[in-house]
Amino acid sequence: MTPEQALTDTRAAIDEARAQLEAIATVAPGTATFENTFLAWYEAGQNLKQVTNYVFHLHTVLGKKDMQQMMSRIMAEATAYKAEGLHATRIAQVLRESANAPWVKELSPARQRFVQQTLQSMNDSGLFLTPEQQTRKAAIEKELSQLGFRFTAYVQNARHQWQLLIRTPAELAGMPRGWMQMAEGGGKQVSNDGQPAWLINLTTVPAAPVLRYCTVAETRRKCWLGTTSAGTDRAYDTEPIIKRILELRHELATILGYANFADMQASRRMMGCGQKALDFINDMLQKSKPAWDAYVAAELKRFSQACGKELTEVNPWDVEYLNRHLPPERSSFNINVITPYLQIDKVVEGLMNIWAGLLNLHIQELPTVCLKPGESPKPGVVETWHPDVRCFSVKDAVTGKHLGSFYMDILARPHKRTQAWCLPLRDGNPKSDGSLGEPHLAALMANFTPPQPGKPHLLNHGELYMLFHEFGHMMHMMLGHGELRAHCTAEVERDFAEMPSQLQESWIWEPEALATFTCHYATGEPLPDHLAQQLANTRGTNPIEMHIRMLCASKLDLELHMHYHDKCKDRPIDEVAQEILGPWLFPYTEQPPSEIRTLTYTMAEGYAAALYTYKWSEMLAADAMTRFKKEGVLNPSTGADYRRCILERGSSIPAMQQIRDFLGREPDSAALIERYSQHTP
């Protein structure tokens, strides 16, 4: 796909979508069917979605300037088309009237579900509002977009702006020589009087090492204030932005008929309403409290021993310094010792074999070629965008049906987007009778360190984790074949989307699974049993402090979006945060500013009133893993149920029902609570 062809395809897809919308708008009540109303509404614009998916994908994996420029042009034209709102009012009327037609009751359960999903989606889009309400909704969304951008900019600017200039080296006693040289070089650049100076900031000469090595408490205190200053600096204070965002979100929710923004966000998720999400988080906090209290007591005991006196609270700027001079609170296992056993080709082969066996699949690598524009591949050879890219087909092992194919592009290179992700490039399209039709197409991307010349290509455990996690998403994408393309995996409830990936990452801690793909690159020896068992044990030593931190952030996120006017509107946000989270705050002598001041996930991105989804998905995955642990982590019978109950269904039935069908009961948080508490000191 060249940039020019992408633009041609985009414009053709927009013209096609306009014609499809025109046809829906002219449907008379007596001629309405599921196919020419609800299904037609979903299919309108699907080709436009596919083209933009392709262009976005090529932009992220290649980063070429011409594709980036074309991406901007295509998105501008696609946005302008959506802003037309072509026949929106008339189409909304057609679909609303059709939903009440007698034939709807005769539809299959999946189609009836889609009718209700469509109506809710249209309601949340504002298509059923009065013209005045639609105008106000558009104004709110525009201001929220601007505020989100400003919030992110404030956080970033504050982090770049803070700096501390030290004039005497005695104030930096204990700092490593290399760091001192770096700080002195920075000081010369910003000092105008020619006197000795040492610069500390949050970027080029980071303050974090000062908290660990500097023996001067006052210098540590100043640096701690700097590391927590983002969002509080007078020039970049995010509190007014946060309060305005919360106020506008509440107004938007009420316009659309919801009690609050959390209810609006949860309405199309497993939780259904904000209160259920908050109840879940509160329950997790209460069940985690004994482990948290034990951790706090153990930490205070360690710090007391270091200080030679009993402490009931500790200076936050002393924590890293004291930890450096104390033994760890729990025995440690160097996870890097297994790296020599993780040869990338054997890992990928083992990954495929594990899930092919569990899910009764045939996963086959296909020959590939990277071509120049205008060249054509030979028959049976798959074209890719880079020579490093591999391609695999996924077929049912019994029927031989082609379920989907996916690209795997997992090595880092210049101009490629960072981190790891999966992207559906084309959703499979069932046949009219609901049987399997067009297969899925997707891509799995990562940025693993490329091999050095003459050296074995080994993964570290973090890369192994990312590979298994993303492959969980990939199997969800490949196997979801419902009655409707509209119920593909990408449409599952957002607080369920991470469940398969978090479940499937669990296999990297299981000795039985590790034995299928680990061997020493030089000797060929399998991973020793004692290392496999030590690695498995680390799964139960997850730090309770990170668990509590995420629960607290989720609780604050929900409380603010549900009770802004009652708890927050006219009060300092840090005071509100400490009141809400008091029992779970570590006993510091001085509490840092609330994390909400810099939390772009909820203030500027897509997890507003939905941070809880991380813990919810983790809980579901931990609970589902209990069945595999009981019946066998490589048991194909359990894998078959997992495929049937969860992976294949997409969003055709509620996710909660999928979980109940797989577990045979309601989900339970016990497994996750145990994971964070069984090894607490």
pLDDT tens digits, one per residue of 412-430: 999 898 889 999 999 887 7
Q: What is the pLDDT of residue 377?
A: 86
- Strand ranges (DSSP E) for 15-64? none
Residue 431 has pLDDT above 80, yes or no: no
For the ranges 8-12, 119-123, 673-677, the lowest mean pLDDT is seen at 673-677
Give the tens place of pLDDT for each residue, 14-33. Answer: 999 999 999 999 999 899 99
Alpha-carbon torsion 53, 58, 63, 64, what sign?
negative
pLDDT over 70 for what percent of the chain? 97
- Residue 511 predicted with pLDDT over 60: yes
Report the b/e string of 415-448 with b at 16+ CB within 10 A.
ebeeebebbbbbbbbbeeeeeeeebbbbbbbbbb
- 364 against 601, higher pLDDT: 364
CATH for 3-126 is 1.20.1050.40
> Is the pLDDT at 558 greater than 80, yes or no?
yes
Six-digit token string for 679: 């090894």
Q: Is residue 442 within 8 Å of residue 403, measured between CB atoms?
A: no
Q: How many CB atoms lie within 10 A of CB 383?
A: 13
- On whether the pTM is more than 0.85, the answer is yes
Longest alpha-carbon distance in the chain: 87
- Greater model confidence, 193 or 55: 55
* Residues pairing with 383 in the sheet: 369
- Per-residue model confidence (pLDDT) at position 542: 62
Q: Where in the chain are the domains?
A: 3-126, 129-161+234-264, 163-228, 337-541, 544-585+597-677
Question: What is the model's pLDDT at position 3?
Answer: 83
Per-residue pLDDT reduced to its tens digit, 327-339: 765 556 788 899 9
Mean pLDDT across 248-276: 96
Which residue pairs from 232-239 have beta carbons closer than 8 angstroms and sit at least 24 positions apart in sequence?
Answer: 232/158, 232/593, 232/597, 233/158, 233/161, 233/162, 235/157, 235/158, 235/161, 236/154, 236/155, 236/157, 236/158, 236/161, 237/154, 238/151, 238/154, 238/155, 238/597, 238/598, 238/603, 239/572, 239/573, 239/597
- Whether 165 contacts 183, CB under 8 Å: no
Q: What is the mean pLDDT of residues 510-535?
A: 94
Residue 199 CA from chain centroid, whole number:
36
Which residues, including other chains, have CB under 8 Å from residue 273's CB and lie 6 or more apart?
A: 262, 263, 266, 267
b or e along 254-293 (b: 16 or more beta carbons within 10 Å of the residue's beta carbon)?
ebbebebbbbbbbbbbbbebbbebbebbeebbebbeebbe
Q: Which two tokens stand for residue 410?
A: 């997992």
Specify the pLDDT at position 434.
56
User: Does the pLDDT value for residue 681 go beyond 50?
Assistant: no
Q: Do domains 3-126 and 337-541 have the same CATH topology?
A: no
Across 59-68, 296-305, 637-646, the highest mean pLDDT is recorded for 637-646
Look at domain 337-541 and name its CATH class: mainly alpha
pLDDT of residue 340: 96
* 443 φ/ψ angles, rounded to the nearest 5 degrees: -140, 140
- Percentage of the chain beyond pLDDT 90 is 74
Chain segment 342-369, per-residue pLDDT in tens? 999 999 999 999 999 999 999 999 999 9
User: Does position 117 have pLDDT exceeding 90, yes or no?
Assistant: yes
Q: Give mean pLDDT, residues 165-179.
A: 95
What pLDDT score was predicted for residue 229? 87
95-104, 532-541, 542-551: which range is least confident on average?
Answer: 532-541
pLDDT band at 659 (very low <50, low <70, confident <90, very high): very high
List own/partner pairs for 121-129 with CB under 8 A and 24 or more apart: 121/268, 122/92, 122/95, 123/256, 123/257, 124/256, 124/264, 124/267, 124/268, 126/255, 126/256, 127/88, 127/89, 127/91, 127/92, 128/92, 128/96, 129/255, 129/256
Work out the end-to-end distance of the chain between its first and last CA atoms, rounded to an integer number of angstroms.
57
Section 34-61 average pLDDT: 92
**pLDDT of res. 433:** 59
Which one is predicted more confidently, 478 or 328? 478
The string of pLDDT tens digits covering residues 523-534 is 999 999 999 998
Average pLDDT over residues 270-282: 97
Residue 284 corresponds to which tokens in the numbers above?
Answer: 């997790």
